[in-house]
Amino acid sequence: MGRPPNDRRPNTFLAYWLTRTGMSNVELARAITERATELGERGVATDESRVRRWLKGEMPRPPVPQLITEVIGARAGTTLTCADLGLPGPQGLANPRNPDLPWEASSTIGALTEITRSEFMLPTTRTSTDAQGVHAGDDLLAPLQHWATATPTADGTEALSARSGRIGTAQVEGIRAATATFRDLDNRHGGALSRKAVLGQLDDAVTMLHSCSYTAQTGQALFAAVADLGSVAGWMSFDAGRHASAQHLFVTALHAAAEGGDKALGAHILQCMARQMSHLERYEDALDLVALAQFGARRRMSPATVSMLAALEARFHAILGNLDDSERAADHAQETFTRVTTAAEPAHMSFFDAAELSATLGVAHQIAAKHSTGAHRARRAEKSTALISHALDHRPEHRVRSKAFDHLGLARTHVAAEELDGALLETQRALALFGVIESRRVADRLVELHDEAEPYAGGRSGGNLRELIASAVARDDVGERAGASFT
């Protein structure tokens, strides 16, 4: 769940340099396209409307910021950086420090705004340069459509060709055991701590695929095991705020699951991707990924998988304000969960228990409450509180990060119900868990709560809540890990 992207500010630095060089929007667009062609950059075709969106605050993706900098710098006869133009560069979106600012009110206000934002705003991993490199929309969904019909392509005779070493069931089971260990570490401590370790393990597993011999049956099991390990590596990267890396891992894991002939695992990977898209405020993409998972694995899904996807569907519909669709999906999730037999579920579904179902649906009702008024708002907030409280009461002890999310979920429900004392208490409980987990997603949720409490900043509890969050996120011992320090 996240904030709608409605907080863009006009890029006064870019506007200033266009004015100074005398370039029109059309001229800039044409020059960028020509420069891209000279450098062999394909797919860069800029027009005047795109330039207008940049001036309004939209951030272009690489390599466009560097192209803009080169074109304007050449016209101005000086060396500029992306930061001078208020654009993301190799080091991210830096604060422009060039003293050559225009002597006019709008640019002065823009410079002051940038400074105060860097000092007092709480940036999240959603605004990082890395997050801007994530594919979305048709760029992401179109190539993934083929997953629904993909089948294993590895030839058993080819797999047995001259290679060094031969592997069997024992090695596959070893990868599965390592995957279970990393899942447990992620649940207990967050993804940042063990991310590099799981990537190293994944590299070793991929080496087996590449250099060892195995039967066709073992090969499929090995691909599936690598896919599951890759999904954990992607999830840890997502939790650590490495969004582009996470997406790349998820996509390649999905391909490995297809080679392993495991549609249910593929559906699990797609729901991981859907959660990431939702976190990055790409809610339509999140719904499309859930729909793709439901369609592609429709004959292979366990009851827990069906319930999980329906619960996520309820959550995403609620974010988009489709409250009737949200309630229908929630009812389907609960009904299907009654048919779950834990021992029959695959290992990758072990996280989706009664507590996880309650938490997911509790958040859906919390979001729905924000879209409602009067008695409907109160009813949905009450249901959210009951569901998330049930989740907290039934969380296994090792699900530390999930407990932190639950406390923050309760806090946000209290804010939706204008119960600021309760929000403050639950936030304090969440922060008590912050010291043992390294999760940028938790920090991003704290920032959302900080923003949601803004209308109540003038009251005692509302003001204390925002100060508590600001202090926690700014502290070096939390802020560095969260990637949300005041920089």
High-pLDDT (> 90) share of the chain, %: 47
CA–CA distance, 102 with 85 (Å, rounded to integer): 13
pLDDT in tens, 347-358: 999 999 999 999
Of residues 129 and 182, more confidently modeled: 182
Region 69-82: what's the mean pLDDT?
84
Q: What is the mean pLDDT of residues 207-231?
A: 88
190: which residues sit within 8 A by CB, 6+ positions away?
A: 239, 240, 401, 437, 438, 439, 442, 481
Could you read off the pLDDT of 126-157 as tens digits, one per residue?
A: 767 777 778 888 888 888 888 888 888 865 54
Q: What is the pLDDT of residue 160?
A: 44
Q: Tell me, what's the pLDDT at 8?
A: 60
Question: pLDDT band at 3, cuts 50/70/90?
Answer: very low
Range 400-405 average pLDDT: 90
pLDDT the model gives residue 480: 41
Extract long-range pairs of 49-57: CB within 8 Å, 24+ residues apart. 51/25, 51/26, 52/25, 54/11, 54/14, 55/10, 55/11, 55/14, 55/15, 55/18, 55/25, 56/8, 56/10, 56/11, 57/8, 57/9, 57/10, 57/11
Percent of the chain with pLDDT over 70: 85
> How does pLDDT run across 283-292, given as a tens digit for each residue?
999 999 999 9
Backbone phi and psi for residue 328, each to the nearest 5 degrees, phi listed first: -65, -45
Phi, psi at 92, each rounded to 5°: 90, -170
What's the farthest any 2 CA atoms get from each other in the chain?
A: 73
At residue 1 the predicted structure's pLDDT band, cuts being 50, 70 and 90, is: very low
Q: At residue 160, what are phi and psi to the nearest 5 degrees?
A: -95, 10
Contact 167, 208 (CB under 8 A): yes
Residue-level pLDDT at 127: 66
pLDDT digits 0-9 by tens, 434-447 = 767 778 888 888 88
Length of the chain counted residue by residue: 487
Is the model's pTM score more than 0.75? no
Rounded to an integer, the average pLDDT of 359-370 is 95
Please give the residue that has the higher pLDDT: either 122 or 210. 210
- Contact of 359 with 403, CB cutoff 8 Å: no
Residue 8 CA: distances (Å) to CA of 55, 92, 112: 10, 17, 16
Cβ atoms of residues 55 and 110 within 8 Å: no
pLDDT greater than 70 at residue 452: yes
pLDDT band at 476 (very low <50, low <70, confident <90, very high): very low
- Break the chain down into helix, strand, coil percent, rounded to 5: 70, 0, 30
Comparing CA positions, the residue from 258, 159, 279, 278 lying closest to residue 212 is: 159
CB atoms within 10 A of CB 439: 28
